[in-house]
Amino acid sequence: MFPTITMSEGFLSRGQLVERYAQKSGRNCSELKFYHVFALFKLAVIVQQIYFRWYQGQTTDSRFETFNERTKVLINHAYNHIN
């Protein structure tokens, strides 16, 4: 799984960050959950494309070998945030 910076000590939590952004920008962040899930899905597509290029032998960087599993993690993470 990819690390989340907001989980590191000294950083605002995700909720605190969104609240501060909403206050400073004056924007409505009530639909932020949709954009979070959509971003996870888009990232999963990119990671899967990189994996496919590795799988087809178009790139040989061994770091991409696990990207198929990372795609599944991202999709599951997105799905769990919907519910």
pLDDT at 3: 62
Task: Confirm if 67 and 50 have CB atoms less than 8 A apart.
Answer: yes
Print burial letters for 12-32: b (CB count within 10 Å at least 16), e (below 16): eeeeeebeeeeeeeeeeeeee
pLDDT at 57: 96
d(CA 50, CA 43): 11
pLDDT at 50: 97
Q: Which structure tokens are listed for 37?
A: 């899930």
pLDDT at 82: 84
* Residue stretches of the chain with pLDDT short of 70: 1-6
